[in-house]
């Protein structure tokens, strides 16, 4: 996910003014970051020293260990804006862990998705009470090349975040299944995948730009007694909508379990 975000950021017009530092326990796993002009290190403290904004992209169970590895060897510690993408870790928990650091920090929690890498993503963010409007504007400007970025209340981060963050995986499965259907009818696989993907992208653009309810757009395609309504009936028989609802619910329950742990 960190790579998806930086790819989106690199689409931004402010790319050349950025000074990117990346830290992780195994430097050999970070070599690909150099293609984005990043400084690759193994000390989280050096990131703190050189950056005003720090993205936390570790596994939730590794949060405390990652923060323990942060030190600030300077006589004039600065205020750091931490941006966390850790699923299931709320702002209260983040602030509790960050208290061990010998300097002030503000926290923004984000729920990104992988399409941010191609500038077509959706990123939600929630803030702690000390985050300023200027810091929110800085985040939105930083992610301007990633797609949609919207501030929400933290209670929405898990439910809506699951829709935006996990949803791409569900859509990839649908694209694959639709392409399989076309392949079954004799269409070459590469061609089927190409057009299934374009159809999905075009349909989403129609919803966003027409301001019409998707149900109405669906009705506009369904001629009486036609082939589309026959396919829609098959989808209803297969409980497609109920299955998608259940997928969002299952993923949301899982992230809530993670937050309890």
Binding site for NADPH: what residues are annotated?
Answer: 44
Give the Cα-Cα-Cα angle 113, 80, 36 (nearest 5 degrees): 50
CB of 109 within 8 A of CB of 126? yes
Rounded Cα gap, residues 5 and 225, in angstroms: 46
Beta strands of 9-139 (E only): which ranges? Answer: 21-23, 39-41, 53-56, 80-84, 105-111, 121-127
The pairing of strands 21-23 and 39-41 is parallel
Rounded Cα gap, residues 195 and 181, in angstroms: 12
Residues contributing to the annotated binding site: 44
112 contact partners, CB below 8 Å, separation of at least 6: 1, 4, 5, 85, 121, 123, 146, 165
Give the Cα-Cα-Cα angle 27, 31, 33 (nearest 5 degrees): 115
Give the burial class of 4: count Cβ atoms within 10 A of its Cβ; 0-12 exposed, 13-18 middle, 19 or more buried.
Answer: middle
């Amino acid at each position: 996910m960190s790579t998806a975000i930086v790819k989106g950021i690199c689409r931004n017009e402010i790319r050349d003014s950025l000074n990117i530092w990346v830290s992780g326990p195994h430097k050999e796993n970070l070599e690909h970051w150099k293609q984005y002009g990043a400084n690759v290190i193994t000390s989280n403290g050096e990131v703190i020293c050189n950056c005003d904004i720090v993205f936390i992209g570790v596994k939730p169970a590794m949060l405390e260990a990652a923060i323990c590895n942060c030190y600030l060897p300077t006589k004039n510690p600065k205020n750091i804006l931490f941006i966390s993408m850790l699923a299931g870790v709320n702002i209260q928990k983040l602030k509790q862990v960050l208290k061990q650091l010998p300097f002030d920090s503000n926290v923004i929690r984000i729920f990104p998705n992988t399409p941010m890498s191609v500038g077509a993503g959706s990123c939600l963010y929630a803030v702690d009470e000390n985050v300023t409007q200027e810091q929110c504007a800085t985040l939105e400007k930083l992610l301007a090349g990633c797609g949609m970025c919207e501030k929400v209340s933290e209670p929405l981060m898990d439910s809506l975040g699951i829709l935006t963050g996990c949803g791409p995986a569900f859509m990839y499965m649908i694209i694959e299944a639709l392409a399989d259907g076309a392949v079954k009818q004799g269409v070459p696989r590469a061609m089927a995948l190409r057009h299934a993907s374009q159809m999905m992208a075009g349909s989403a653009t129609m919803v966003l730009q027409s301001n019409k309810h998707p149900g109405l757009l669906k009705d506009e395609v369904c001629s009486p007694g036609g082939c589309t309504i026959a396919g829609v009936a098959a989808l209803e028989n297969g409980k497609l909508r109920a299955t998608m609802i259940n997928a969002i619910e299952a993923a949301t329950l899982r992230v809530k379990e993670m937050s309890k742990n």
